[in-house]
Amino acid sequence: MIPSSQIGGGSLKRRTFLASSAAAAAAGCGRKPAAAPGYRFLTPEEADTLGAWVDTLIPPDEDPGAREAGVVHYIDIQLTRWFRKHQSDYRAALSAIDRWSWSRRGRAFALLPLAEREELLVQMEKGKAPRDLFPDGGRAAFDLVLAHAMQGFYGNPRHGGNRGYASWKMIGVPPMPVRGREHYSAAETFPERS
Partner 1 sequence: MPLPKVDAVIIGAGAAGPIVAKELAFVGWRVVLLEKGRWYTPADCRKDDLRNQRNPTLGYPFGPEEEGNPRVIVELNGRERVVKPSEPGYNNNAFCVGGGTLSYGAMAWRFHPNDFRMRSTYASKVPRAFENSTLEDWPIGYEDLEPYYEKAEWEIGVSGDVSGDPFKGPRRRPLPMPPLPPTREHEILEKGARRLGLHPFFIPMLRNSVPYHGRPACMRCRWCVGFACEVDAKNGTQNTVLPMALATGNLELRTECSAKEILVDDHGRATGVAYFDREGRLWEQPARYIVVSCGAIESARLLLNSRSRLFPQGLGNRFDWVGRNLQGHTYTGANGLFEEIVYDDLGPGASIAVCDYVHGNPGLAGGAMLANEFIRLPYQFVSGIRDPDVPRWGRAHKEFVRRAYRRIIPVQGPTQEIPVFESRVTLDPKIRDRFGIPVARLSGYRHPHTIEVSEYMAERAAEWLRASGAVKVWLRRAGRGLSAGQHQAGTCRMGRDPKTSVVDPWCRIHDVDNVYVVDASVHVTNGAYNPVLTIMAIAYRAGDHLAREGRRA
- Judge contact between 31 and 122, C-beta under 8 A: no
CA-to-CA dists, residue 13 to 18, 98, 106, 110, 111, angstroms: 9, 11, 9, 10, 8
| Stretch in the footprint of partner 1 (CB under 8 A) among 13-21, 27-35, 131-139, 167-175 | 167-175
Give the nearest distance from C-beta 150 to partner 1 in angstroms.
5
- Return the closest-CA partner of residue 117 out of 161, 155, 44, 60: 60
Q: Binding-site residue total for partner 1 (CB under 8 A)?
A: 39
Residue from 68, 89, 118, 119 that binds partner 1 (CB under 8 A)?
118
Q: Which of residues 31-70 bind partner 1 (CB under 8 A)?
A: 56-59, 61, 63
Give the nearest distance from C-beta 192 to partner 1 in angstroms.
4
| Stretch in the footprint of partner 1 (CB under 8 A) among 1-9, 17-25, 43-51, 184-192 | 184-192
Q: Left, alpha or beta for 160 (phi > 0: left; psi -120 to 50: alpha)?
A: left
- Judge contact between 156 and 70, C-beta under 8 A: no
Of the two residues 25 and 82, which places its CB atom closer to partner 1 in the complex?
Answer: 82
- Return the closest-CA partner of residue 75 out of 42, 43, 121: 42
Residue from 30, 37, 113, 172 that binds partner 1 (CB under 8 A)?
172
Three-state DSSP at 165 gives helix
Map residues 67-106 to x or -, x wherever contact with partner 1 holds by CB under 8 A. Answer: -----------x--xx------------------------
Q: Residue 108 and residue 2: Cα distance in Å, rounded?
A: 12
Contact residues toward partner 1 (CB under 8 A) are 56-59, 61, 63, 78, 81-82, 118, 121, 125, 146-147, 149-151, 154-156, 158-159, 167-168, 170-174, 176-178, 181, 184, 188-192
